[in-house]
Structure 1
């Protein structure tokens, strides 16, 4: 059996261990395990106080990992050659990495993923997978970055074949990696957060249509991949209508909803 076939079977097994009904994102330092036990999967910050090796029950904890960007606060930031940094994301205060650099694949697997694997995490949420669009302006340049991302994912699976991976988007590379992904997340079918303006906004119908077209395309490729839409509503009780409408609307598309505040600092809702 080839390595690729082995990874595929492991991913199928992970998907088959139970129906994925709810996923939460919670980025506070102190993780309230009891309150979050209502979810099947919870994505947390790697800098949180959670010790995943001691967690019992059905909830699986995934560590956040930024694939295409880095902040100066990350412990591995000092090890990144400055030549790898090609742009900045001023809205979030991050630096954008050239993901096509061949050495970055092993760097990401060993410097970003490995410390969290050692802590006990067996699932990872890969964010900023489309940040290359900030600096790769031509189709040829974007294709080069996409190859780099595929190589990063392959490197992670080579180091940790049992790792479960949730992607934030990554639509363009799905034909190459759909057999190793646990689930695909994206942000905002209906309710969004504008971090620059610090306000909640409704999603443009054209943007929603484009997202749903991507979901349809990937479901045709692999109908067993779960999709999750992260929706953003103010967490106050007065905004219960926004939350409930987002949940019902997202579910109508066969997508798992998660609704929370714009910075994912409060426990949100899937139902």
Structure 2
């Protein structure tokens, strides 16, 4: 303290010393408050649910545009810092946004930081559409590796929510009942290991219907893709979803809402310059009792979510069924 006092004494007149001291206090307060803001947002998410959810995988995250959503899933490898975005949002006295990291559970591409550390015998198949390798979920050591090499670095960077993708990729390699059971057991073990290490982590699943009976208590919401608008990655085009596929997804959504009392979200796709398509598909999804998010096939533009009328309808339906809060 003596050294600090001597430093300020050398700065000049008292009014300069006071100004400098005030600046230091503001800086220290901002640095110390950042984790507090993040914790406050996380507690809000635990209490109120995921709310309106958006996905954005572009490199430059448009924080101001996306902050109108309650929860936003981003590609963590973009270098985005959720702590800075959270503190800036909440410091303005506004409702804070929860920033989730995208996490591929069932597949890995060679540009991921942890790829080189993975035993190559765990990579047991290929998804040529996305140029990725399928991970053996039943491999001994996979749950621990998943937590330590995939989740822990994201947690250290300030992420407290995770969107778990590629939960069905094991279907590309498992062709017998025994093989399917082994893959599902490994997937369940990986998700449980995540929650054991980080009990406060919030999880949104992309599908994973087969394992929900075992892990639904650890999940905040379930999403799936393409109820009405689809993106065909192989042929690089947008198209409509066949009626049979839509009916199957609607049946899954009904089970999730009624049996597990979880919010359901459909991520649909339209061309980035087709605003009318986005609005119409969002309205169709909402009419089916599901929260919509309609964006481009690469998820690099800010999409259309539930408007006020849709939110009211979904909230009313959730209240009538006793589902968990979705806002």
TM-score, normalised with respect to structure 1 = 0.91
Residue 227 in 1 paired to residue 264 in 2?
yes
User: Which runs of structure 1 show a deviation greater than 2 angstroms over 4 or more consecutive aligned residues?
Assistant: 13-21
Distance 2:124 2:79 in 1: 32
SS in 1 for 2:210: helix
Question: Alpha-carbon deviation of 1:96?
Answer: 0.5
Counterpart in the other structure of 2:68 = 38
Distance 1:126 1:178 in 2: 13
- State the Cα deviation string for residues 61-115 of structure 1 (Å, max 9, x = none): 0001100000000010001111100111111111110011131001001100000
Comparing both chains, which one has the higher relative contact order based on Cα–Cα distances under 8 Å and sequence gaps of 6 or more? Answer: 1
Counterpart selection for 2:123 from 81, 85, 98: 85
Task: Structure 2: give runs of 5+ residues left out of the alignment.
Answer: 1-42, 91-95, 308-327
Query: 1:183-198 residue pairs with structure 2 within 5 A?
Result: 183-198=221-236
TM-score, normalised with respect to structure 2 = 0.76
Counterpart in the other structure of 2:189 = 151
Counterpart in the other structure of 2:311 = none
More helix by share: 2
- State the Cα deviation string for residues 212-240 of structure 1 (Å, max 9, x = none): 111112223212x111100000010xx22
Whichever of the two has the greater Rg, that structure is 2
Question: Alpha-carbon deviation of 1:19?
Answer: 5.3
Query: 1:106-145 residue pairs with structure 2 within 5 A?
Result: 106-145=144-183
Counterpart in the other structure of 2:53 = 23
Task: Structure 1: give runs of 5+ residues left out of the alignment.
Answer: 1-12
SS in 2 for 1:245: helix
Distance 1:112 1:199 in 2: 32
Residue 173 in 1 paired to residue 211 in 2?
yes
- State the Cα deviation string for residues 115-162 of structure 1 (Å, max 9, x = none): 000000000010000000101012221121111111001100011000
Distance 1:215 1:51 in 2: 33
8 Å Cα contact 2:266/2:285 also seen in 1? yes
Segment drifting more, 239-248 vs 92-101: 239-248
Query: 1:234-249 residue pairs with structure 2 within 5 A?
Result: 234-236=271-273, 239-249=274-284
Question: Alpha-carbon deviation of 1:195?
Answer: 0.4
Segment drifting more, 131-140 vs 188-197: 131-140
SS in 1 for 2:297: coil
Residue 205 in 1 paired to residue 240 in 2?
no
Question: Alpha-carbon deviation of 1:241?
Answer: 2.5
Counterpart in the other structure of 1:252 = 287
Question: Alpha-carbon deviation of 1:16?
Answer: 5.8
Distance 2:204 2:63 in 1: 20
Question: Alpha-carbon deviation of 1:253?
Answer: 1.8
Counterpart in the other structure of 1:164 = 202
Distance 1:129 1:141 in 2: 15
- State the Cα deviation string for residues 45-71 of structure 1 (Å, max 9, x = none): 111232111223321000011000000
Counterpart selection for 1:99 from 137, 153, 171: 137
Distance 1:240 1:46 in 2: 27
RMSD: 1.3
SS in 1 for 2:238: strand
